[in-house]
Chains A and B, each alone.
Chain A
Amino acid sequence: MNEKNNSLLVYTLIYFGFLYIPVLFLPIFSFNDANYMSFPLAGFTTDHYEEMWSKRNLHKALWASVKVGVVASVVSTAIALLAAKAFVRYKFRGQNVSYGAIMMPFLIPEIILAVSILIIWINLGFPLGLVPVTIGHILFCTPFAMLILIARIEGFDFSLEEASRDLGENAWGTFYRVSLPLYLPGIIAALLLSFIISFDEFILAFFLSGSDATLPMYMWNQMRFVKKLPHVLALGAVIIVFTTFIVLLAFWLRNVGQGKEKKDIAIKL
Protein backbone atom coordinates (compact mmCIF):
# COMPACT_ATOMS: atom_id res chain seq x y z
CA MET A 1 0.00 0.00 0.00
CA ASN A 2 1.60 3.24 -1.07
CA GLU A 3 -0.87 5.76 0.25
CA LYS A 4 -0.57 7.31 3.69
CA ASN A 5 -3.10 7.28 6.46
CA ASN A 6 -2.38 10.09 8.85
CA SER A 7 -5.40 9.70 11.11
CA LEU A 8 -4.48 6.07 11.68
CA LEU A 9 -0.88 7.09 12.36
CA VAL A 10 -2.01 9.61 14.97
CA TYR A 11 -4.24 6.97 16.57
CA THR A 12 -1.38 4.46 16.63
CA LEU A 13 0.92 6.97 18.32
CA ILE A 14 -1.75 7.73 20.94
CA TYR A 15 -2.15 4.02 21.57
CA PHE A 16 1.59 3.60 22.06
CA GLY A 17 1.37 6.50 24.48
CA PHE A 18 -1.33 4.60 26.38
CA LEU A 19 0.91 1.51 26.46
CA TYR A 20 4.10 3.24 27.56
CA ILE A 21 3.27 6.39 29.53
CA PRO A 22 1.69 4.75 32.63
CA VAL A 23 4.84 2.72 33.20
CA LEU A 24 7.01 5.85 32.91
CA PHE A 25 5.47 7.24 36.09
CA LEU A 26 7.46 4.68 38.09
CA PRO A 27 10.91 6.08 37.19
CA ILE A 28 9.60 9.69 37.34
CA PHE A 29 8.34 9.39 40.91
CA SER A 30 11.30 7.27 42.00
CA PHE A 31 13.38 10.47 41.84
CA ASN A 32 10.73 12.55 43.60
CA ASP A 33 11.51 13.76 47.10
CA ALA A 34 8.17 12.86 48.72
CA ASN A 35 6.25 9.87 49.97
CA TYR A 36 3.17 10.59 47.90
CA MET A 37 3.10 10.22 44.18
CA SER A 38 1.42 13.43 43.13
CA PHE A 39 2.12 16.49 41.04
CA PRO A 40 3.77 18.94 41.29
CA LEU A 41 7.02 17.07 41.89
CA ALA A 42 8.63 17.94 45.22
CA GLY A 43 12.27 17.90 44.22
CA PHE A 44 14.96 15.63 42.89
CA THR A 45 16.52 12.98 45.08
CA THR A 46 18.37 9.69 44.71
CA ASP A 47 17.61 8.70 48.31
CA HIS A 48 15.13 6.02 47.29
CA TYR A 49 17.84 4.35 45.25
CA GLU A 50 20.44 4.62 47.99
CA GLU A 51 17.95 3.10 50.41
CA MET A 52 18.06 -0.13 48.39
CA TRP A 53 21.66 -0.82 49.45
CA SER A 54 20.68 -1.16 53.07
CA LYS A 55 17.62 -3.40 52.71
CA ARG A 56 18.66 -6.90 53.65
CA ASN A 57 15.29 -8.43 52.80
CA LEU A 58 15.54 -6.90 49.35
CA HIS A 59 18.93 -8.51 48.79
CA LYS A 60 17.58 -11.82 49.99
CA ALA A 61 14.59 -11.57 47.63
CA LEU A 62 16.81 -10.58 44.71
CA TRP A 63 19.07 -13.56 45.32
CA ALA A 64 16.01 -15.84 45.58
CA SER A 65 14.65 -14.56 42.24
CA VAL A 66 18.02 -15.00 40.55
CA LYS A 67 18.35 -18.57 41.81
CA VAL A 68 14.80 -19.49 40.77
CA GLY A 69 15.20 -17.72 37.42
CA VAL A 70 18.49 -19.40 36.52
CA VAL A 71 17.32 -22.90 37.39
CA ALA A 72 13.89 -22.43 35.79
CA SER A 73 15.29 -20.97 32.57
CA VAL A 74 18.03 -23.59 32.15
CA VAL A 75 15.71 -26.54 32.82
CA SER A 76 12.80 -25.23 30.74
CA THR A 77 15.06 -24.30 27.81
CA ALA A 78 16.62 -27.79 27.85
CA ILE A 79 13.18 -29.45 27.90
CA ALA A 80 11.89 -27.03 25.26
CA LEU A 81 14.89 -27.59 22.98
CA LEU A 82 14.27 -31.34 22.81
CA ALA A 83 10.54 -30.81 22.26
CA ALA A 84 11.10 -28.12 19.61
CA LYS A 85 13.43 -30.46 17.73
CA ALA A 86 10.81 -33.23 17.81
CA PHE A 87 8.17 -30.91 16.30
CA VAL A 88 10.40 -29.43 13.61
CA ARG A 89 12.30 -32.58 12.65
CA TYR A 90 9.68 -35.33 12.71
CA LYS A 91 6.16 -35.99 11.54
CA PHE A 92 4.61 -38.31 14.07
CA ARG A 93 1.34 -39.66 15.35
CA GLY A 94 -0.29 -37.51 18.01
CA GLN A 95 1.72 -34.46 16.97
CA ASN A 96 -1.12 -31.97 17.40
CA VAL A 97 -2.23 -33.46 20.71
CA SER A 98 1.31 -33.32 22.10
CA TYR A 99 1.73 -29.74 20.89
CA GLY A 100 -1.57 -28.74 22.48
CA ALA A 101 -0.63 -30.46 25.74
CA ILE A 102 2.71 -28.65 26.00
CA MET A 103 1.09 -25.29 25.20
CA MET A 104 -1.64 -25.85 27.81
CA PRO A 105 -0.08 -23.88 30.68
CA PHE A 106 -0.62 -20.93 28.33
CA LEU A 107 -4.35 -21.58 28.10
CA ILE A 108 -5.20 -22.07 31.76
CA PRO A 109 -5.59 -19.22 34.23
CA GLU A 110 -2.35 -19.11 36.18
CA ILE A 111 -4.14 -19.11 39.53
CA ILE A 112 -5.45 -22.61 38.74
CA LEU A 113 -1.94 -23.91 38.02
CA ALA A 114 -0.76 -22.32 41.27
CA VAL A 115 -3.60 -23.72 43.37
CA SER A 116 -3.26 -27.27 42.03
CA ILE A 117 0.51 -27.33 42.59
CA LEU A 118 -0.13 -25.97 46.09
CA ILE A 119 -2.59 -28.79 46.89
CA ILE A 120 -0.29 -31.59 45.73
CA TRP A 121 2.77 -30.03 47.36
CA ILE A 122 1.30 -29.64 50.84
CA ASN A 123 -0.35 -33.05 50.67
CA LEU A 124 2.99 -34.65 49.87
CA GLY A 125 4.09 -33.04 53.12
CA PHE A 126 6.79 -30.83 51.54
CA PRO A 127 7.43 -27.33 52.88
CA LEU A 128 6.55 -24.30 50.74
CA GLY A 129 9.48 -22.30 49.47
CA LEU A 130 11.60 -21.69 46.40
CA VAL A 131 11.56 -25.33 45.23
CA PRO A 132 7.83 -25.48 44.34
CA VAL A 133 8.10 -21.95 42.86
CA THR A 134 10.92 -23.15 40.59
CA ILE A 135 8.93 -26.21 39.53
CA GLY A 136 5.94 -24.01 38.71
CA HIS A 137 8.14 -21.63 36.73
CA ILE A 138 9.62 -24.48 34.71
CA LEU A 139 6.08 -25.51 33.74
CA PHE A 140 5.18 -21.93 32.85
CA CYS A 141 8.36 -21.06 30.90
CA THR A 142 8.58 -24.23 28.78
CA PRO A 143 5.87 -23.28 26.22
CA PHE A 144 7.42 -19.81 25.74
CA ALA A 145 10.90 -21.27 25.28
CA MET A 146 9.55 -23.86 22.86
CA LEU A 147 7.85 -21.23 20.67
CA ILE A 148 11.07 -19.23 20.46
CA LEU A 149 13.16 -22.30 19.65
CA ILE A 150 10.72 -23.63 17.04
CA ALA A 151 10.85 -20.26 15.23
CA ARG A 152 14.64 -20.43 15.32
CA ILE A 153 15.10 -24.10 14.33
CA GLU A 154 12.50 -24.02 11.56
CA GLY A 155 14.29 -24.21 8.24
CA PHE A 156 17.35 -25.71 9.88
CA ASP A 157 19.11 -28.06 7.47
CA PHE A 158 19.06 -31.37 9.30
CA SER A 159 21.22 -33.00 6.62
CA LEU A 160 24.13 -31.23 8.31
CA GLU A 161 23.57 -33.44 11.35
CA GLU A 162 23.27 -36.53 9.17
CA ALA A 163 26.47 -35.61 7.32
CA SER A 164 28.27 -35.29 10.62
CA ARG A 165 27.04 -38.73 11.69
CA ASP A 166 28.09 -40.21 8.34
CA LEU A 167 31.54 -38.72 8.77
CA GLY A 168 31.90 -40.77 11.93
CA GLU A 169 31.05 -38.26 14.66
CA ASN A 170 29.00 -39.74 17.51
CA ALA A 171 25.64 -38.34 18.67
CA TRP A 172 27.11 -36.15 21.40
CA GLY A 173 29.88 -34.85 19.13
CA THR A 174 27.33 -34.03 16.44
CA PHE A 175 25.23 -32.12 18.91
CA TYR A 176 28.19 -30.29 20.38
CA ARG A 177 29.96 -29.42 17.13
CA VAL A 178 27.16 -29.06 14.60
CA SER A 179 23.75 -28.49 16.15
CA LEU A 180 24.66 -26.44 19.20
CA PRO A 181 26.56 -23.66 17.36
CA LEU A 182 23.66 -23.31 14.93
CA TYR A 183 20.99 -23.36 17.64
CA LEU A 184 22.99 -21.22 20.04
CA PRO A 185 21.46 -17.76 19.37
CA GLY A 186 17.99 -19.30 19.75
CA ILE A 187 18.99 -21.12 22.91
CA ILE A 188 20.38 -17.96 24.48
CA ALA A 189 17.28 -16.00 23.47
CA ALA A 190 15.07 -18.69 25.05
CA LEU A 191 17.22 -18.69 28.21
CA LEU A 192 17.03 -14.91 28.56
CA LEU A 193 13.30 -14.64 27.94
CA SER A 194 12.46 -17.57 30.26
CA PHE A 195 14.63 -15.94 32.90
CA ILE A 196 12.68 -12.70 32.53
CA ILE A 197 9.32 -14.50 32.72
CA SER A 198 10.40 -16.26 35.90
CA PHE A 199 11.98 -13.10 37.32
CA ASP A 200 8.73 -11.14 36.89
CA GLU A 201 6.28 -13.92 37.72
CA PHE A 202 3.98 -13.20 40.64
CA ILE A 203 1.01 -15.60 41.05
CA LEU A 204 2.92 -18.88 41.37
CA ALA A 205 5.37 -17.25 43.77
CA PHE A 206 2.48 -15.76 45.75
CA PHE A 207 0.92 -19.17 46.39
CA LEU A 208 4.01 -21.35 46.63
CA SER A 209 6.88 -19.33 48.09
CA GLY A 210 5.80 -19.52 51.74
CA SER A 211 8.13 -17.21 53.65
CA ASP A 212 10.90 -17.23 50.98
CA ALA A 213 9.92 -14.08 49.08
CA THR A 214 11.01 -13.61 45.48
CA LEU A 215 11.51 -10.07 44.20
CA PRO A 216 7.89 -9.56 42.98
CA MET A 217 6.68 -10.96 46.33
CA TYR A 218 8.96 -8.54 48.15
CA MET A 219 7.51 -5.63 46.16
CA TRP A 220 3.98 -6.87 46.83
CA ASN A 221 4.65 -6.96 50.58
CA GLN A 222 6.12 -3.43 50.55
CA MET A 223 3.29 -1.98 48.47
CA ARG A 224 0.96 -2.10 51.46
CA PHE A 225 2.96 0.55 53.33
CA VAL A 226 2.71 4.10 52.02
CA LYS A 227 6.10 5.01 53.50
CA LYS A 228 7.83 2.26 51.59
CA LEU A 229 6.26 3.02 48.21
CA PRO A 230 9.00 5.36 46.91
CA HIS A 231 11.55 2.66 47.49
CA VAL A 232 9.34 0.15 45.62
CA LEU A 233 9.25 2.69 42.76
CA ALA A 234 13.03 2.88 42.64
CA LEU A 235 13.27 -0.89 42.64
CA GLY A 236 10.57 -1.10 39.98
CA ALA A 237 12.41 1.41 37.79
CA VAL A 238 15.61 -0.62 38.05
CA ILE A 239 13.71 -3.81 37.20
CA ILE A 240 12.07 -2.20 34.16
CA VAL A 241 15.41 -0.96 32.80
CA PHE A 242 17.04 -4.34 33.44
CA THR A 243 14.16 -6.28 31.85
CA THR A 244 14.07 -4.03 28.79
CA PHE A 245 17.81 -4.46 28.29
CA ILE A 246 17.62 -8.27 28.53
CA VAL A 247 14.60 -8.48 26.21
CA LEU A 248 16.23 -6.25 23.57
CA LEU A 249 19.36 -8.39 23.80
CA ALA A 250 17.24 -11.51 23.31
CA PHE A 251 15.43 -9.98 20.31
CA TRP A 252 18.75 -9.07 18.77
CA LEU A 253 20.21 -12.53 19.37
CA ARG A 254 17.15 -14.23 17.99
CA ASN A 255 17.71 -12.47 14.69
CA VAL A 256 21.48 -12.83 14.47
CA GLY A 257 22.60 -14.69 11.38
CA GLN A 258 19.13 -15.03 9.97
CA GLY A 259 18.10 -13.89 6.52
CA LYS A 260 15.56 -11.16 5.99
CA GLU A 261 12.61 -13.53 5.64
CA LYS A 262 13.60 -15.49 8.71
CA LYS A 263 13.79 -12.22 10.60
CA ASP A 264 10.14 -11.59 9.97
CA ILE A 265 9.19 -15.05 11.19
CA ALA A 266 11.37 -14.79 14.25
CA ILE A 267 9.88 -11.54 15.47
CA LYS A 268 6.48 -13.18 15.46
CA LEU A 269 7.81 -15.59 18.08
Chain B
Amino acid sequence: MFQAWRNLYSKSDNAKAYSLLSPALFLIILVMLIPMALMLSFSSFTQVSMMEIDFTPTFQRYIDFFEKSLLVSLLIKSVKISFIVTLITLLTAYPVCYYIAFYVKKNKMLWLVLLTLPFWTSYLLRVFSWKIILGTKGVFNSTLLGAGIISEPLTFLMYSEEAVIITLTHAWAAFALLPLYVSLEKIDFSYIEAARDLGLSKFEVFWKVTFPLSLPGVIGAILIIFIPTVGDYVTPALIGGTEGRMLSNMIQAYFGKINNIPLGAASATIMLTTVILITAIVSYTTKRLTQRLS
Protein backbone atom coordinates (compact mmCIF):
# COMPACT_ATOMS: atom_id res chain seq x y z
CA MET B 1 0.00 0.00 0.00
CA PHE B 2 2.72 2.43 1.07
CA GLN B 3 4.80 1.44 -1.96
CA ALA B 4 1.91 2.08 -4.28
CA TRP B 5 1.42 5.51 -2.78
CA ARG B 6 5.02 6.32 -3.20
CA ASN B 7 5.01 5.25 -6.82
CA LEU B 8 1.99 7.37 -7.50
CA TYR B 9 3.58 10.34 -5.76
CA SER B 10 6.83 10.07 -7.61
CA LYS B 11 4.95 9.62 -10.87
CA SER B 12 3.09 12.82 -10.26
CA ASP B 13 6.40 14.46 -9.38
CA ASN B 14 7.66 13.44 -12.81
CA ALA B 15 4.54 14.80 -14.43
CA LYS B 16 4.73 18.10 -12.53
CA ALA B 17 8.42 18.52 -13.29
CA TYR B 18 7.98 17.86 -17.00
CA SER B 19 5.01 20.17 -17.32
CA LEU B 20 7.22 22.94 -15.87
CA LEU B 21 10.08 21.92 -18.15
CA SER B 22 8.03 21.56 -21.32
CA PRO B 23 8.48 25.13 -22.63
CA ALA B 24 12.26 24.92 -22.20
CA LEU B 25 12.44 21.48 -23.80
CA PHE B 26 10.18 22.60 -26.68
CA LEU B 27 12.51 25.54 -27.23
CA ILE B 28 15.57 23.28 -27.35
CA ILE B 29 13.89 20.80 -29.70
CA LEU B 30 12.32 23.35 -32.06
CA VAL B 31 15.06 25.98 -32.19
CA MET B 32 18.16 23.84 -31.72
CA LEU B 33 17.78 20.09 -32.30
CA ILE B 34 15.50 20.15 -35.37
CA PRO B 35 17.49 22.94 -37.07
CA MET B 36 20.71 21.07 -36.34
CA ALA B 37 19.26 17.86 -37.77
CA LEU B 38 18.26 19.81 -40.87
CA MET B 39 21.78 21.25 -41.11
CA LEU B 40 23.09 17.68 -40.97
CA SER B 41 20.81 16.59 -43.81
CA PHE B 42 21.75 19.65 -45.89
CA SER B 43 25.36 18.57 -45.65
CA SER B 44 24.39 15.59 -47.82
CA PHE B 45 22.90 17.68 -50.65
CA THR B 46 24.48 19.34 -53.67
CA GLN B 47 24.42 23.00 -54.70
CA VAL B 48 23.70 22.90 -58.43
CA SER B 49 23.45 26.62 -59.14
CA MET B 50 22.90 29.84 -57.19
CA MET B 51 19.27 29.05 -56.39
CA GLU B 52 19.06 25.32 -57.00
CA ILE B 53 19.91 22.47 -54.65
CA ASP B 54 19.93 18.79 -55.59
CA PHE B 55 18.45 16.81 -52.68
CA THR B 56 19.93 13.39 -53.56
CA PRO B 57 21.83 12.23 -50.47
CA THR B 58 25.59 11.99 -50.96
CA PHE B 59 28.77 11.99 -48.90
CA GLN B 60 30.47 14.10 -51.54
CA ARG B 61 30.46 17.33 -49.42
CA TYR B 62 32.58 15.65 -46.76
CA ILE B 63 34.96 14.36 -49.42
CA ASP B 64 35.02 17.91 -50.87
CA PHE B 65 35.93 19.26 -47.44
CA PHE B 66 38.89 16.96 -46.96
CA GLU B 67 40.04 17.38 -50.56
CA LYS B 68 40.22 21.15 -50.18
CA SER B 69 43.52 21.70 -48.44
CA LEU B 70 42.40 25.21 -47.47
CA LEU B 71 39.48 23.92 -45.41
CA VAL B 72 41.52 21.20 -43.71
CA SER B 73 44.29 23.64 -42.88
CA LEU B 74 41.74 26.14 -41.51
CA LEU B 75 40.22 23.41 -39.33
CA ILE B 76 43.65 22.50 -37.99
CA LYS B 77 44.50 26.16 -37.48
CA SER B 78 41.22 26.81 -35.63
CA VAL B 79 41.90 23.91 -33.27
CA LYS B 80 45.53 24.99 -32.83
CA ILE B 81 44.64 28.61 -32.07
CA SER B 82 41.91 27.55 -29.61
CA PHE B 83 44.29 25.16 -27.93
CA ILE B 84 46.95 27.85 -27.44
CA VAL B 85 44.36 30.37 -26.25
CA THR B 86 42.96 27.87 -23.76
CA LEU B 87 46.40 27.01 -22.44
CA ILE B 88 47.51 30.63 -22.06
CA THR B 89 44.23 31.62 -20.43
CA LEU B 90 44.43 28.75 -17.93
CA LEU B 91 48.04 29.43 -16.98
CA THR B 92 47.51 33.17 -16.59
CA ALA B 93 44.08 33.09 -14.93
CA TYR B 94 44.74 30.31 -12.41
CA PRO B 95 47.08 32.36 -10.13
CA VAL B 96 44.56 35.22 -10.12
CA CYS B 97 41.73 32.96 -8.98
CA TYR B 98 44.08 31.29 -6.50
CA TYR B 99 44.96 34.64 -5.00
CA ILE B 100 41.35 35.79 -4.67
CA ALA B 101 40.18 32.45 -3.27
CA PHE B 102 42.91 32.06 -0.64
CA TYR B 103 44.47 35.42 0.15
CA VAL B 104 41.77 38.07 -0.24
CA LYS B 105 39.90 38.64 2.99
CA LYS B 106 38.67 42.23 2.86
CA ASN B 107 36.19 43.39 0.24
CA LYS B 108 35.98 39.98 -1.38
CA MET B 109 32.67 41.07 -2.91
CA LEU B 110 34.39 43.88 -4.81
CA TRP B 111 37.02 41.52 -6.22
CA LEU B 112 34.32 39.11 -7.34
CA VAL B 113 32.34 41.81 -9.09
CA LEU B 114 35.53 42.98 -10.84
CA LEU B 115 36.17 39.37 -11.86
CA THR B 116 32.71 38.81 -13.35
CA LEU B 117 32.06 42.22 -14.87
CA PRO B 118 34.02 41.83 -18.16
CA PHE B 119 32.08 38.60 -18.75
CA TRP B 120 28.96 40.63 -19.46
CA THR B 121 30.31 43.52 -21.52
CA SER B 122 30.04 43.53 -25.28
CA TYR B 123 32.22 40.91 -26.92
CA LEU B 124 32.33 42.87 -30.16
CA LEU B 125 33.70 45.91 -28.34
CA ARG B 126 36.27 43.87 -26.43
CA VAL B 127 37.60 42.58 -29.76
CA PHE B 128 37.37 46.01 -31.34
CA SER B 129 39.52 47.54 -28.59
CA TRP B 130 42.41 45.37 -29.80
CA LYS B 131 42.05 46.77 -33.26
CA ILE B 132 42.69 50.17 -31.71
CA ILE B 133 45.74 48.86 -29.87
CA LEU B 134 47.37 46.77 -32.60
CA GLY B 135 46.45 48.76 -35.73
CA THR B 136 49.07 50.31 -38.02
CA LYS B 137 48.24 53.74 -36.63
CA GLY B 138 47.10 52.29 -33.31
CA VAL B 139 48.05 52.82 -29.70
CA PHE B 140 51.03 50.49 -29.73
CA ASN B 141 52.64 51.74 -32.91
CA SER B 142 52.02 55.41 -32.24
CA THR B 143 53.50 55.13 -28.74
CA LEU B 144 56.62 53.35 -30.00
CA LEU B 145 56.99 55.80 -32.88
CA GLY B 146 56.52 58.75 -30.57
CA ALA B 147 59.13 57.41 -28.17
CA GLY B 148 61.53 56.95 -31.05
CA ILE B 149 61.91 53.23 -30.47
CA ILE B 150 60.83 52.36 -34.00
CA SER B 151 60.91 54.46 -37.15
CA GLU B 152 58.22 52.61 -39.12
CA PRO B 153 54.94 51.17 -37.79
CA LEU B 154 55.10 47.45 -37.05
CA THR B 155 52.69 45.94 -39.54
CA PHE B 156 52.94 42.39 -38.29
CA LEU B 157 51.02 43.30 -35.15
CA MET B 158 47.67 43.22 -36.92
CA TYR B 159 46.35 40.59 -39.27
CA SER B 160 48.33 37.68 -37.91
CA GLU B 161 47.75 34.50 -35.94
CA GLU B 162 49.47 36.05 -32.91
CA ALA B 163 47.09 39.01 -32.97
CA VAL B 164 44.14 36.60 -33.04
CA ILE B 165 45.59 34.65 -30.12
CA ILE B 166 46.16 37.76 -27.96
CA THR B 167 42.70 39.11 -28.72
CA LEU B 168 40.94 35.81 -28.05
CA THR B 169 42.87 35.37 -24.80
CA HIS B 170 41.65 38.75 -23.65
CA ALA B 171 38.10 38.42 -24.93
CA TRP B 172 37.42 35.02 -23.34
CA ALA B 173 39.44 35.36 -20.12
CA ALA B 174 36.39 36.32 -18.09
CA PHE B 175 34.81 32.98 -18.97
CA ALA B 176 37.73 31.03 -17.49
CA LEU B 177 37.89 33.04 -14.28
CA LEU B 178 34.45 32.04 -13.04
CA PRO B 179 34.72 28.22 -13.03
CA LEU B 180 38.31 28.36 -11.78
CA TYR B 181 37.43 30.67 -8.90
CA VAL B 182 34.37 28.64 -7.90
CA SER B 183 36.32 25.37 -7.73
CA LEU B 184 39.18 26.92 -5.73
CA GLU B 185 36.82 28.67 -3.35
CA LYS B 186 35.08 25.35 -2.59
CA ILE B 187 38.28 23.69 -1.35
CA ASP B 188 38.12 22.96 2.36
CA PHE B 189 41.12 24.71 3.83
CA SER B 190 41.61 22.03 6.50
CA TYR B 191 42.87 19.66 3.73
CA ILE B 192 45.64 22.08 2.92
CA GLU B 193 46.48 22.58 6.58
CA ALA B 194 46.52 18.83 7.15
CA ALA B 195 48.92 18.38 4.22
CA ARG B 196 51.18 21.07 5.68
CA ASP B 197 51.09 19.49 9.12
CA LEU B 198 52.18 16.24 7.50
CA GLY B 199 55.32 18.06 6.43
CA LEU B 200 54.66 18.50 2.70
CA SER B 201 56.44 21.40 1.04
CA LYS B 202 54.46 24.27 -0.44
CA PHE B 203 55.01 22.86 -3.91
CA GLU B 204 53.87 19.37 -2.90
CA VAL B 205 50.78 20.76 -1.16
CA PHE B 206 49.83 22.50 -4.39
CA TRP B 207 50.41 19.53 -6.71
CA LYS B 208 49.02 16.84 -4.46
CA VAL B 209 46.13 18.65 -2.78
CA THR B 210 45.10 22.02 -4.17
CA PHE B 211 45.47 21.36 -7.89
CA PRO B 212 43.66 17.98 -7.96
CA LEU B 213 40.79 19.48 -5.93
CA SER B 214 40.47 22.34 -8.40
CA LEU B 215 40.34 20.04 -11.45
CA PRO B 216 36.56 20.37 -11.99
CA GLY B 217 37.06 24.11 -12.43
CA VAL B 218 39.99 23.50 -14.77
CA ILE B 219 37.85 21.24 -16.99
CA GLY B 220 35.03 23.76 -16.88
CA ALA B 221 37.41 26.51 -17.93
CA ILE B 222 38.96 24.43 -20.72
CA LEU B 223 35.59 23.62 -22.26
CA ILE B 224 34.10 27.07 -21.78
CA ILE B 225 37.02 28.66 -23.66
CA PHE B 226 37.82 25.97 -26.18
CA ILE B 227 34.29 25.46 -27.53
CA PRO B 228 33.47 29.06 -28.44
CA THR B 229 36.97 29.97 -29.65
CA VAL B 230 37.08 27.10 -32.18
CA GLY B 231 33.98 28.60 -33.78
CA ASP B 232 34.88 32.24 -33.28
CA TYR B 233 34.07 34.48 -36.20
CA VAL B 234 34.46 38.07 -34.99
CA THR B 235 38.12 38.05 -33.97
CA PRO B 236 39.59 36.44 -37.09
CA ALA B 237 37.36 38.61 -39.29
CA LEU B 238 38.32 41.84 -37.53
CA ILE B 239 41.89 41.18 -36.40
CA GLY B 240 43.06 38.14 -38.34
CA GLY B 241 43.23 39.24 -41.96
CA THR B 242 44.17 36.43 -44.36
CA GLU B 243 46.87 35.09 -42.05
CA GLY B 244 44.61 34.68 -39.05
CA ARG B 245 41.56 33.36 -40.89
CA MET B 246 39.70 30.51 -39.19
CA LEU B 247 37.16 27.88 -40.28
CA SER B 248 34.11 29.94 -39.25
CA ASN B 249 35.09 32.66 -41.73
CA MET B 250 34.83 30.07 -44.53
CA ILE B 251 31.53 28.74 -43.17
CA GLN B 252 30.18 32.27 -43.28
CA ALA B 253 31.43 32.67 -46.86
CA TYR B 254 29.68 29.45 -47.94
CA PHE B 255 26.41 30.78 -46.54
CA GLY B 256 27.11 34.22 -47.96
CA LYS B 257 28.93 35.23 -51.11
CA ILE B 258 30.15 31.78 -52.27
CA ASN B 259 26.63 30.40 -51.77
CA ASN B 260 27.32 26.72 -51.29
CA ILE B 261 25.01 25.89 -48.41
CA PRO B 262 25.62 22.11 -48.46
CA LEU B 263 29.40 22.56 -48.19
CA GLY B 264 28.88 25.19 -45.49
CA ALA B 265 26.62 22.78 -43.59
CA ALA B 266 29.22 20.01 -43.96
CA SER B 267 31.95 22.32 -42.65
CA ALA B 268 29.77 23.30 -39.69
CA THR B 269 29.04 19.62 -38.99
CA ILE B 270 32.75 18.82 -39.08
CA MET B 271 33.41 21.69 -36.67
CA LEU B 272 30.70 20.41 -34.33
CA THR B 273 32.10 16.87 -34.48
CA THR B 274 35.57 18.19 -33.65
CA VAL B 275 34.19 20.07 -30.65
CA ILE B 276 32.31 17.00 -29.40
CA LEU B 277 35.39 14.78 -29.84
CA ILE B 278 37.64 17.18 -27.98
CA THR B 279 35.08 17.63 -25.20
CA ALA B 280 34.94 13.85 -24.82
CA ILE B 281 38.74 13.54 -24.77
CA VAL B 282 39.12 16.33 -22.19
CA SER B 283 36.47 14.88 -19.88
CA TYR B 284 37.87 11.36 -20.23
CA THR B 285 41.50 12.33 -19.56
CA THR B 286 40.64 14.49 -16.59
CA LYS B 287 38.50 11.72 -15.14
CA ARG B 288 41.44 9.34 -15.43
CA LEU B 289 43.77 11.97 -14.04
CA THR B 290 41.53 12.59 -11.03
CA GLN B 291 41.39 8.86 -10.32
CA ARG B 292 45.18 8.60 -10.51
CA LEU B 293 45.75 11.59 -8.28
CA SER B 294 43.26 10.55 -5.61
Partners in one complex: yes
Which chain A residues have a beta carbon within 8 Å of chain B's beta carbons?
1, 4-5, 8-9, 11-12, 15-16, 18-20, 22-23, 25-26, 29, 36-40, 78-80, 82-83, 85-86, 89-93, 95, 98, 101-102, 104-105, 107-113, 115-120, 123, 135-136, 138-139, 142, 146, 193, 196-197, 200, 202-203, 206-207, 216, 219-220, 223, 232-233, 236, 239-240, 243-244, 247-248, 251, 263-264, 267-269
The interface residues of chain B lying within 8 Å CB-to-CB of A82 are 20-21, 23-24
> Are B268 and A8 in contact, with the CB atoms below 8 A?
no
> Are B252 and A92 in contact, with the CB atoms below 8 A?
no
The interface residues of chain A lying within 8 Å CB-to-CB of B14 are 90, 92-93
> Are A200 and B18 in contact, with the CB atoms below 8 A?
no
A110 to B124, CA, bound (A): 14
Binding site of B, secondary structure by majority: helix, strand, loop or mixed?
A: helix
The interface residues of chain B lying within 8 Å CB-to-CB of A18 are 170, 173
A236 to B23, CA, bound (A): 35
| CB contacts between A and B, total, < 8 Å | 244
A85 to B13, CA, bound (A): 12
Chain A interface: which of B36-44, B56-64, B154-162? B36-44
> Are B135 and A116 in contact, with the CB atoms below 8 A?
no
> Are A39 and B143 in contact, with the CB atoms below 8 A?
yes
> Are B234 and A11 in contact, with the CB atoms below 8 A?
no
Closest A-B pairs by Cβ, 8 of them: A109-B231, A38-B142, A116-B35, A86-B20, A92-B17, A90-B17, A83-B24, A116-B39
The interface residues of chain B lying within 8 Å CB-to-CB of A200 are 120-125
The interface residues of chain A lying within 8 Å CB-to-CB of B18 are 86, 92
The interface residues of chain A lying within 8 Å CB-to-CB of B109 are 263, 267
A102 to B133, CA, bound (A): 38
> Are A109 and B125 in contact, with the CB atoms below 8 A?
no
The interface residues of chain B lying within 8 Å CB-to-CB of A23 are 118, 121, 125-126, 129
13 A-B contacts (beta carbon < 8 Å)? A25-B132, A37-B135, A38-B139, A83-B24, A98-B21, A111-B251, A111-B271, A112-B39, A117-B31, A219-B124, A239-B122, A243-B122, A264-B185
A83 to B193, CA, bound (A): 41
> Are A92 and B173 in contact, with the CB atoms below 8 A?
no
Q: What is the total number of residues of chain B having a CB less than 8 Å from a CB of chain A?
A: 87
The interface residues of chain B lying within 8 Å CB-to-CB of A136 are 31
> Are B268 and A22 in contact, with the CB atoms below 8 A?
no
Q: Is B233 an interface residue (CB 8 A)?
A: yes
Residue-wise interface mask of B (251-281) relative to A, using a CB-CB cutoff of 8 A (1 in contact, 0 not):
1100100000100110010011001000100
In the complex, besides A11-B96, A120-B38, 14 extra interface pairs with C-beta distance below 8 angstroms are A5-B103, A26-B132, A86-B16, A90-B16, A95-B17, A102-B24, A109-B272, A110-B228, A112-B36, A112-B268, A142-B24, A200-B125, A203-B234, A267-B113
